Structure 1
Amino acid sequence: MKLHIHMSPADALAAQPADEDVYIVIDLIRATTALTTIFDQGAKRVFAADTVEQAREAAQLKPGRLLCGERHARALPGFDYGNSPAQFSHSDLSNQELILTTTNGTRAFYACPEHSVRLAGCFYNAQAVTAYALAYARRQDSNISIVCAAENGNFALDDTVCAGYLAQEIQRQQPDIIPHESVTAARGLYQLYPPPGLAAYCHSAQQVIDSGLGADIDFCMRQNASGSIARVVGKEPETGLLILEPALKLQAEI
């Protein structure tokens, strides 16, 4: 079994990713932390949209779903929610279906192979998501790739540091896994910039703070506080959006 970290979705695509591999997508600040929190709060399903237009059209086709998202850390006009894990953590989302579009995170799921196992990872659910990824990879004798959402296609320190922590967790649980040198690099960055101090060096964190959502940064730096894992389970034919459901409901598959 091999472990690889892709520093951006473009890196993942260039590597010609394999359908049978397990992918952990990270957009630490804030999409994958928000997805984890949404399922903590009882949501039934999230539909990930690549663009704002896709999200608005899907909301018209499927009234009743909560419309959520942001661009450049700012909430979108007419949307029910932004992309704030702190706000979601105080919301009752029991049995709700949400449509979510974000600047970087939701797009990263589309960079992974269409029929692969795709999971949302972050500091907040690190132990849970790595254990699930390993169990699935063992079951199908495949490799694990961690895909950083990056920031507008560019290297993002926060995602890479989080990837280093998740890789550390995977290696702790599976000591004989074969790491790519990208793992060594990301783990080194985690040692240099551990949370919560990491946030002081990240442009994405400053953007969120400037938008008046500083509580989100503290939330995104929390480690191993959730057992929720968002997993892509398919694509909705009517809207073309990716469907994410809580992976724990699928534990019987493993």
Structure 2
Amino acid sequence: MKINVITCADHVSPESVKGNTAVVVDTLRATSVIITAISHGAKSVVPMTSVEEALETKKKLENVVLGGERKARLIDGFDLSNSPKEYTASAVAEKNVVLTTTNGTKAIARSSSAARIFIGALRNARAVAEAAVAEERDAVIVNAGTGGEFSMDDFITAGAIIAHMLELKPAELTDVAKTALIIYETHRDLRSYIQEAHHYGVLEELGLSEDLDFCLQESVEDIVPEYKNGIIKQHF
């Protein structure tokens, strides 16, 4: 088994994930939102790369909640932002959540040639590692990044997932995967590392410290969402 990390969505090509198990990570905050929505009973999450696509998709589905952000802010006319705290059972249970975000939904779309696509974050790091190892094929952790650039928060999350994978099965790591693992192993106080990330600072300035606290909890969820045929549901 070989494990690789792709450091941002813009670096994903069909060839880089084809035939692999992909784990898409956007810790702050899209994949944390998806995990929370599925955990709270959402019928599905439908990721879209543009606001226009999201609005068109709403017309085709029943019981839709529109969620997402642009520049970390609520999109005009949408029901929910990209704050996982908003995706409560009362808001999303039995609903189809149509979601569009700046980075996370783009990373999911660009990973579509993978054999399986799981949704990962710190909150489900151990569970998603178990699901990836069970597939018994090479794995690639796709970091969404921020605005087409490397993001520290996603990178250390990749390291956490790799650490849990190695607890279950030996693997060959690429240099970038080894680096992510080293970063995780030497920064077990995750906040001390992640608070240096640019996107952390952006969210803090917007008064979203509760979101940061929520997203930085490690392995507190057993939920493993899977993207398949254009929608995300719980993996079984």
SS of the residue 1:166 aligns to? helix
Distance in 2 between residues matched to 1:78 and 1:185, nearest whole Å: 41
Deviation of the 1:63 alpha carbon:
4.9
Distance in 1 between residues matched to 2:191 and 2:17, nearest whole Å: 34
1:147/1:115 Cα in 2 relative to 1: closer, same or farther (>3 Å)?
A: closer
- CA deviations over 1:218-246 (Å, ceiling 9, x no partner): 00100111011111111xxxxxxx21111
Deviation of the 1:25 alpha carbon:
0.5
TM-score, length basis structure 1: 0.87
Q: 1:184 matched to which residue of 2?
A: 178
Distance in 1 between residues matched to 2:184 and 2:104, nearest whole Å: 20
- Number of residue pairs matched? 235
User: Is 1:196–1:218's contact at 8 Å kept on the other side of the alignment?
Assistant: no
- CA deviations over 1:31-69 (Å, ceiling 9, x no partner): 011111111101110100011111112123335300000
Deviation of the 1:199 alpha carbon:
3.4
Map 1:1-254 → 2, pairs under 5 A: 1-13=1-13, 16-89=15-88, 91-114=90-113, 116-136=115-135, 138=136, 142-174=137-169, 176-193=170-187, 194-234=189-229, 242-247=230-235, 250=236
Distance in 2 between residues matched to 1:89 and 1:158, nearest whole Å: 24
TM-score, length basis structure 2: 0.93
Distance in 1 between residues matched to 2:162 and 2:144, nearest whole Å: 16
The aligned amino acid for 1:149 is A
User: Is 1:17–1:113's contact at 8 Å kept on the other side of the alignment?
Assistant: no
Distance in 2 between residues matched to 1:150 and 1:184, nearest whole Å: 18
SS of the residue 2:166 aligns to? helix
Distance in 2 between residues matched to 1:129 and 1:206, nearest whole Å: 27
Deviation of the 1:192 alpha carbon:
4.4
- CA deviations over 1:5-39 (Å, ceiling 9, x no partner): 1111233318x225321000000000011111111
Percent identity over paired residues: 27
- CA deviations over 1:65-98 (Å, ceiling 9, x no partner): 0000001110111111011112224645221111
Which range moved further: 100-109 or 49-58? 49-58
SS of the residue 1:244 aligns to? strand
Deviation of the 1:127 alpha carbon:
0.8
User: Is 2:143–2:154's contact at 8 Å kept on the other side of the alignment?
Assistant: yes
The aligned amino acid for 1:52 is V
5+ unaligned residues in a row in structure 2: which ranges? none
The aligned amino acid for 1:188 is I
SS of the residue 1:114 aligns to? coil
Distance in 1 between residues matched to 2:6 and 2:116, nearest whole Å: 16
